[in-house]
Amino acid sequence: MSLEQLLAWIPPGSPDEALARQVNFDQLPAHVAIIMDGNGRWAAERHLPRVEGHRAGIDSVRDVVETSARLGIDVLTLYAFSIENWKRPRAEVNTLMTLLKRYLRLELGTLLKNNIRFRVIGRVDELPPDVRHELEIGIGRTAGNTGMLFNIALNYSGRAEIVDAARRAIAAGITPDDLDEQHFSDFLYTAGQPDPDLLIRTSGEMRVSNFLLWQIAYSEIWVTETFWPDFRCRHLLEAVVAYQKRDRRYGGIKQPTTVALGAK
Ligand code: FPP
């Protein structure tokens, strides 16, 4: 993608435009993963029920998905519902599932328009049949798209993913001698996808909350105090600009710039 494609979508003269101009399009994170947090606190600040925070969070999802696609991000993963989230009150869980279904139904056109391929990561088989049905429609209708891959993590837990991968590797007859890190990652839900370069968490919490535990080994983490329902294009651009200033070493040392002595 290009600056022009992003600018076509951003109000001229806005802080978003200034940020967009700071992005280096040759050094974009290939995969951005987001822990969407703070919906409940956003609602509490407004004396609203918690579910209103989730409802407002859908606007942020919409904005971030389209901004990411226009930016040229290859993979976007949003953490929508963890295995642990089933412990929440039934009414809140039901609202989250309803919002998800409605999002998929209403936003399918946007996904198609932006050439976005939609996928789900998590224990999908354990989701209610009506939710699975809606997910299958979204996955099927966008399967031929060639642009950004949009993963929603649903009924997801990083530890459960690693256990599921180990089970699949055993079922596939992999022997201990065959197994290495690359081969093991082929059994994860994210097989074939690049690991997240950038992990964003909203609402100021400094935790990874069982999200993509294997894949975030070398991710750059960016935390904002902003609650998820207030998160917009501007925040994503801030995160990308901050990411591009990081010095990624993957456990090694910073390579000194080579100076060819004596070279003309
Ligand atoms: C965390 O806030 C947020 C969630 C558990 C759910 C996020 C889900 C959505 C925004 C809607 C559906 C998503 C998609 C992708 C369509 P919290 O409730 O833990 O907030 P708190 O920490 O302030 O209580």
Whether 34 is in the pocket of ligand 1, judged by its Cβ within 6 Å, is no
In a domain, 208, yes or no: yes
Q: Is 37 in the pocket of ligand 1 (CB under 6 A)?
A: yes
What does the pLDDT read at residue 262? Answer: 42
Give the model confidence (pLDDT) of 75-118 as tens digits.
999 999 999 999 999 999 999 999 999 999 999 999 999 999 99
- Scanning the chain, the segments in alpha helix (DSSP H) are 3-7, 15-22, 39-45, 50-71, 90-113, 129-142, 158-171, 181-185, 233-243
Token look-up 């822990």 returns 35
Sequence-distant (6+) residues with CB within 8 A of 130 are: 101
Q: What is the pLDDT of residue 232?
A: 98
58 ligand 1 Cβ < 6 A = yes
For the record, the structure tokens of 195 come out as 């690991």
Whether 116 is in a domain gets the answer: yes
CA–CA distance, 202 with 39 (Å, rounded to integer): 10
Considering the domain boundaries, does residue 20 fall inside one?
no
CATH classification of the domain holding 229: 3.40.1180.10
Decide if 23 contacts 67 (C-beta within 8 A).
no
In a domain? residue 251: no
Question: Which residue's CA lies nearest to atom 13 of ligand 1?
Answer: 80
Does residue 256 belong to any structural domain of this protein?
no
Has residue 264 been placed in a domain? no
Q: pLDDT band for 9, please (50, 70, 90 cuts).
A: confident
Of 38, 55, 8, nearest in space to 235 by CA:
38
Atom number of ligand 1 nearest to Cα 78: 15
- The atom number, within ligand 1, closest to the CA of 60 reads 10
pTM: 0.94
Number of domains the chain is built from: 1
- Supply angle C-alpha 223, 198, 72, rounded to 5: 125
Q: Which residues contact 226 (CB under 8 A, 6 or more apart)?
A: 38, 202, 203, 235
Residue 31 within a domain: yes
pLDDT at residue 261 above 90?
no
Separation of CA 36 and ligand 1 centre (Å): 6
Q: Which residues pair with 220 in a beta bridge?
A: 198
Question: Does any ligand 1 atom lie closer than 6 A to the CB of residue 38?
Answer: yes
Q: What is the pLDDT of residues 197-211, one digit of tens each?
A: 999 999 999 999 999
Q: How confident is the model at residue 255 (pLDDT cuts 50, 70, 90)?
A: low
| C-alpha 18 – ligand 1 centre gap (Å) | 29
**Nearest-atom index, ligand 1, CA of 100:** 16
| Interval 163-184 mean pLDDT | 96
The alpha carbon of 183 and the centre of ligand 1 are apart by a number of angstroms equal to 33
Structural domain for 48, as ranges: 25-156+195-244
Any domain includes 261: no
**97 touches ligand 1 (CB under 6 Å):** no
Q: Which residues are catalytic?
A: 37, 85
CA 198 → CA 194, 204, 233, distances in Å? 11, 16, 15
Confidence of residue 252 (pLDDT cuts 50, 70, 90): confident
CA angle at 247 for the pair 254 and 188, rounded to the nearest 5°: 105
Which residue has its alpha carbon closest to ligand 1 atom 12? 100
- CA nearest neighbour of 118 among 141, 86, 100: 141
Instruction: Tell me which of 32, 34, 36, 209 to substitute to probe ligand 1's pocket, judged by most ligand atoms within 8 Å of the beta carbon.
Output: 36
